[in-house]
Amino acid sequence: MRTIKLTYPHTLTLDELPETVAAIGFFDGIHKGHQKVIKTAVNQAKSNNMESAVITFHPHPSVVLKKDVQHVQYITPLREKQAILQQLDVDRLYIITFNKELSSLEPQTFIDHFIINLNIKALVAGFDYTYGHKGKGNMQTLKEHSRGRFDYTVIDQVQSGDQKISSTRIRELLRSGQVEKANELLGRPLVVRGVVKEGEKRGREIGYPTANLEAESETLLPKIGVYAVKVRFKNEVYEGMASLGYNPTFTSDRVEPIIEVNIFDYNNDLYGEELVLEWHQYMREEIKFDSVEKLIKQIEKDEKGIRDYFSRES
């Protein structure tokens, strides 16, 4: 997959671009609803011997449009989004910089510049996709704004139960620790990538060595607590338990939560390595223990519970 970053105005010309079928949207999470939009574009492209593309934006529009939002955490930070799109067989990814200038474009100007002038011959989007200044362009106005230069397909909402699958709903589930339900809507486990940094080695001292994972600041983390996780590292997958929180048994002044992962049946040094953490099940809330002995007893229970959970799942 080729990744192309664009700002307005871009300098690409029609004669250097292949005829393309594109899916457009922000696609945070690339959940089952997003996947339907993207797979429709990929399949149409293959049927017409064209290239497939995803057109997305960065940063999130709220960072630019809302003065009280300085920083957004994503279900799928940009790097994770790229990895998933690669797996979905997308040929090219256009990442458009969302800034004040882009937000002020009239709908027709946006379509002319980022659809027609990118040689998009067919566009696929969700029923609620909007474009242009204040979202004045939508899937009803697209017929007019397309100028007859490209076809388009509107994807109806995808539901789970009687509710629309949405990034907002998945965020709410993650904040309440309902990772299994969130994973169901995502169509895969929630993933957090991080580099192992040196910690205080307390886990090793009590018989449960942990890898302290430093995730990107843009990563949306689930609710504080203890989780059943799987760890992907160098083409291998391990089961383990992760504590996301402030380690209150040993510290009282931690401001940012940390991720500590105990990988079952693994003892090698991982400092400086990148791990991919899959979140499978919320086990319990974070607890401050009166003694190290009580902490160890609880960790033993956690390990048994998580091993049992994965044995049932397999």
Residues 6+ apart with CB under 8 A from 224: 244, 245, 246, 257, 285, 286
Q: How would residue 251 be classed by pLDDT, with cut points 50, 70 and 90?
A: confident
Burial of 52 per CB tally in 10 Å (0-12, 13-18, 19+):
buried
**pLDDT of 148 higher than 80:** yes
pTM of the model: 0.95
User: What pLDDT, on the 0 to 100 scale, is given for residue 268?
Assistant: 87
Query: What is the helix (H) or strand (E) element at residue 33, kind and residue range?
Result: helix 32-47
Residue 151 has a pLDDT of: 98
Compute the mean pLDDT over every residue in the chain, rounded to the nearest whole number: 95
Yes or no: say if 194 and 274 are a contact pair by the CB < 8 Å rule. Answer: yes
- Domain 189-313: top CATH class: mainly beta
User: Using one digit for the tens of pLDDT, what is the confidence trace for 292-312?
Assistant: 999 999 999 999 999 999 999
Band of residue 28 on the pLDDT scale cut at 50, 70, 90: very high
Per DSSP, 9 falls in state S
pLDDT exceeds 90 at position 262: yes
Asked if 127 contacts 156 with a C-beta cutoff of 8 angstroms, the reply is: yes
pLDDT of residue 294: 94
Which residues share a beta bridge with 236? 233
Residue 66 pLDDT: 84
Q: Break the chain into its structural domains and give their ranges.
A: 2-164, 189-313
Percent of the chain scoring above 70 in pLDDT:
98
| Gap between the Cα atoms of 139 and 46, Å rounded | 24
At 57-100, the pLDDT tens digits run 999 998 898 877 667 899 999 999 999 999 999 999 999 999 99
- pLDDT at position 134 is 95
Pairing of the two strands 190-197 and 236-245: unpaired
Asked whether the domain spanning 189-313 has the same topology as the one spanning 2-164, the reply is no
User: Phi and psi at residue 302, in whole multiples of 5°?
Assistant: -60, -45
pLDDT at position 314: 77
| 235 SS3 class | coil
Kindly state which CATH superfamily the domain 2-164 is placed in. Answer: HUPs (3.40.50.620)
